[in-house]
Chains A and B, each alone.
Chain A
Amino acid sequence: MKILACVKQVPGTNKVEIDPVTGVLKRDGVSSKLNPYDLYSLETGFQLAEKYGGEVYTLTMGPNQAKTAIRETLAMGAAGGVVISDRRLAGADVLATSYTLAQGVRSAGDFDLILCGKQTTDGDTAQVGPELAEHLGIPHVTNVLEVRLAGGAEEEEEAGAGASGDMRGSYGKLLVRALRDGLIVEQLVAMPCLLCMEDGVNTPRLPSYRRQKAIREEQIGVMTLDDMKDRNEKAYGLSGSPTQVVRMFPPQKREGKEIYDGPEEESADRIFGLLRERKMI
């Protein structure tokens, strides 16, 4: 099975500040890490590859330093990865991003399965995965809990042996369990397909220092707009983005902590008064 996991580099902490004037994320001096939600999809990929044979490749879009994210996936067990990096891609919204990734996937080769995280911690839209599937014209399932190859052990063996990176789905379907409207839905999905993994579905493996040391530069590919099948700049970056951000602001923090340290009865009365005033009781 040839698997592609899409990942994103996000700020390393959740204490990111937003410049109140420009409304832009202050990324300077902030460490970055792999989007935590992507770790679950990566782990799903590694487990499927171990079980049925095959390899996991990774794909990301971002500035040049996003290579670090790919390196990390290699240290976790990916066979290779690609960074799509090009100034002309800057300012992409979810549509332009998913379109870029779709172009990247087409150029990178054929995959049986594409895995995405549920969402990212810095964008939180949960839209890029499904949109990528739409651009590629393949089926997708979101909030996935569990994946295995449909059919008996025999079929599974066959599938493992025949893993050739064939995008036509010659050997079958996946049995996918996913959360939907509070229910767990089990369905068959023909490959190639895209799955967005729910968070917490597994315990992602840790990056290995041995693997990290063994990374060869040729395992990390870099793509620009020039490598895409569609080279029309208007489809990418800011010009390919119909979404306009009107304003960006940090969520309001609730700072109001008050301590009542009078006698118990008095404090109780004050709390009671406060709760009534706020219409909580």
Chain B
Amino acid sequence: MYHKTDENDIRALRGIAPGRVFAGSEIGEDYGHDELGGISRMPEVLVRVLTTEEVSAVMAYAYAHDIPVTVRGAGTGLVGGCIAAEGGILMEMTAMNRILELDEDNLTLTVQPGVLLMDLAAYAEERDYFYPPDPGEKTATIGGNISTNAGGMRAVKYGVTRDYVRGLTVVLPDGEVVKLGGKVVKNSSGYALKDLMIGSEGTLGVITEAILKLLPLPALSVSLLAPFETMEEAIEAVPAIIRSKAVPTAIEYLSRETILFAEEYLGKQFPDKSSDAYLLLTADGSSRAAVDGETESLAELCLSLGAKDVYIVDTEERKGSVWTARGAFLEAIKASTTEMDECDVVVPRSAVTEFIRYTKEVAAETGLRLPGFGHAGDGNLHIYLCRDELSREEFELRLAKAFDLLYGRAAELGGLVSGEHGIGWAKKGYLARQSGERLIRLMAGIKAVFDPKNLLNPGKVCQ
């Protein structure tokens, strides 16, 4: 059983992090939830940490006193991953927001976990470097990105967060500090503990420093917006684009409906909405000639696959008008309904068309509105299950049915529960069902090795 924190614990924690420990009513309501609707659990104590040493001291104390600890970044998660499910201590990392070192000999950037993704990306770009992962939520912390192995739109060409983490400093549940990986490019030294830590959603250790890999900044990038008559036609073009061996950084699909939500939400017009469906592709490269060549072949390919036209999105202003809308889709859909949940399913790219078609069937069968958009190029779809005017109970019922159908079909197609948001609290039932007993037991075993007292983020992922 966990120990309920009392005056003594708070006093002890105040000794570790003076002026940065809050308890009871001092803790703002926002700390009870993330961006997932419908669940809130308040921590008993909030500690805003500043250093690895403080994290270590907090963990050692919690370990000695059996207090559960949940780590929180910016709270932008979508699966309830940073909610203090068992109360206890909520450790907030956002004040550890320093960029520590740019190592130009090793092309690495060492950061604290609370650095915001947008600040990190801007820091790199100002120095002609490139940190490719770009999840939609730019105000997320890098620590949160690493903990969920966040993906983003450039995954088609550049991969996901895991591909850009070289080393981690981690505080284990008993307070011991370990370094995993490093500035090395290659690593065949034993089990890949660093990679295990990435995507572990704060259940195995607390990340207090990360060494990230950088690339040289591509000289330019150009996007293409290709309107199609129907969503089917648009999606069907994607496998052909992938087969063509072109390597766009992103292939996104957008529907007119979602574009209209974004217009309403932003109060800004999208440059074209004459079609029901669009593909948005981006090419980047180190020279104008290379990028022009690639955009031309992509444009020709789109036309041959039935695109009505291909619009060129080549300047800052044009990118702004298109990508601002794309970036606002999640919030825009949220604003279009009373409450929603999200299915962040990932399927093999060859199955995207089939899965999107199936989504329509599920919408019809459950009577739920299911707007969506997503990374057609990497098979990661974001499907929103909107409550609209339904009663809470009715919504919950239909939601469960829709999730069952969607995840069931995804599994049949060789897909997985989460592409980039993680499992956290909300999706663990679906993970358990898909993974099966043996895999969950393996995960639970790993968890027990790292965290024998089950203190770190209990009740999440595989529990």
Residues of A within 8 A of B (CB): 12-13, 31, 33-34, 36, 39, 75, 202-212, 264
Q: For residue A253, give the distance in angstroms from its CB to the closest CB of chain B.
A: 12
Q: How far is the CA of A77 from the CA of B65 in the complex (A)?
A: 71
Nearest first, the 5 closest Cβ-Cβ pairs linking A and B are: A206-B311, A203-B269, A209-B310, A209-B299, A207-B312
Q: Is B38 an interface residue (CB 8 A)?
A: no
Q: For residue A126, give the distance in angstroms from its CB to the closest CB of chain B.
A: 18
* Interchain CB contact (< 8 A) of A36 among B224, B310, B314, B315: B315
Known A-B contacts A31-B220, A75-B312; the reply to A209 vs B271 at CB < 8 A is: no
- List A contacts of B288 (CB < 8 A): 31
- List B contacts of A12 (CB < 8 A): 315
Contact with A along B262-288 (1 / 0, CB 8 A): 000000111110000000000000001
* Apart from A12-B315, A206-B312, A207-B314: 15 A-B pairs, beta carbons within 8 A: A33-B315, A34-B315, A36-B315, A204-B321, A205-B272, A206-B225, A206-B271, A206-B272, A206-B318, A208-B309, A208-B312, A209-B309, A209-B310, A209-B312, A212-B312
Q: How far is the CA of A206 from the CA of B299 in the complex (A)?
A: 14
Contact at B303–A209, with CB atoms within 8 Å?
yes
- List A contacts of B299 (CB < 8 A): 209
Q: Is B414 an interface residue (CB 8 A)?
A: no
Q: For residue B86, give the distance in angstroms from its CB to the closest CB of chain A.
A: 31
Contact at B310–A210, with CB atoms within 8 Å?
yes
* Interchain CB contact (< 8 A) of B270 among A13, A203, A209, A212: A203
Q: Is B19 an interface residue (CB 8 A)?
A: yes
Residue contacts A-B, CB under 8 angstroms, 9 given: A12-B315, A33-B315, A39-B317, A203-B269, A203-B270, A204-B318, A205-B311, A208-B309, A209-B312
Q: Is B16 an interface residue (CB 8 A)?
A: no
Contact at B303–A203, with CB atoms within 8 Å?
no
Contact at B315–A203, with CB atoms within 8 Å?
no
For window 426-445 of B, CB contacts with A under 8 Å fall at none
Residues of B within 8 A of A (CB): 19, 220, 224-225, 268-272, 288, 299, 303, 309-318, 321-322
* Interchain CB contact (< 8 A) of B313 among A13, A206, A210: A206
Q: How far is the CA of A195 from the CA of B77 in the complex (A)?
A: 49
Q: For residue A223, give the distance in angstroms from its CB to the closest CB of chain B.
A: 26
Known A-B contacts A39-B317, A264-B19; the reply to A209 vs B220 at CB < 8 A is: no
Q: How far is the CA of A206 from the CA of B312 in the complex (A)?
A: 6
Contact at A210–B303, with CB atoms within 8 Å?
yes
- List A contacts of B316 (CB < 8 A): 13
Q: How far is the CA of A13 from the CA of B288 in the complex (A)?
A: 14
Q: For residue A39, which residue of chain B has the nearest CB?
A: B317
- List B contacts of A36 (CB < 8 A): 315, 317
Q: How far is the CA of A148 from the CA of B321 in the complex (A)?
A: 25
Contact at B321–A207, with CB atoms within 8 Å?
no
- List B contacts of A203 (CB < 8 A): 268-271, 321
Q: For residue A20, give the distance in angstroms from its CB to the closest CB of chain B.
A: 21
- List B contacts of A210 (CB < 8 A): 303, 309-310
Q: For residue A101, give the distance in angstroms from its CB to the closest CB of chain B.
A: 23
- List B contacts of A211 (CB < 8 A): 309
- List B contacts of A206 (CB < 8 A): 225, 271-272, 311-313, 318, 322
Contact at B269–A202, with CB atoms within 8 Å?
yes
Contact at B19–A207, with CB atoms within 8 Å?
no
Q: How far is the CA of A211 from the CA of B271 in the complex (A)?
A: 16
Q: For residue B385, give the distance in angstroms from its CB to the closest CB of chain A.
A: 31
- List B contacts of A205 (CB < 8 A): 271-272, 311
Most buried by A among B224, B269, B303, B311: B311
Q: For residue A166, give the distance in angstroms from its CB to the closest CB of chain B.
A: 32
Q: How far is the CA of A208 from the CA of B220 in the complex (A)?
A: 20
Q: For residue A37, which residue of chain B has the nearest CB?
A: B317
Q: How far is the CA of A209 from the CA of B311 in the complex (A)?
A: 6
Q: How far is the CA of A203 from the CA of B61 in the complex (A)?
A: 57
Q: For residue A203, which residue of chain B has the nearest CB?
A: B269
Q: How far is the CA of A211 from the CA of B312 in the complex (A)?
A: 11
Q: For residue B9, give the distance in angstroms from its CB to the closest CB of chain A.
A: 23
Contact at B19–A208, with CB atoms within 8 Å?
no
- List A contacts of B311 (CB < 8 A): 205-209
Q: For residue B235, give the distance in angstroms from its CB to the closest CB of chain A.
A: 20
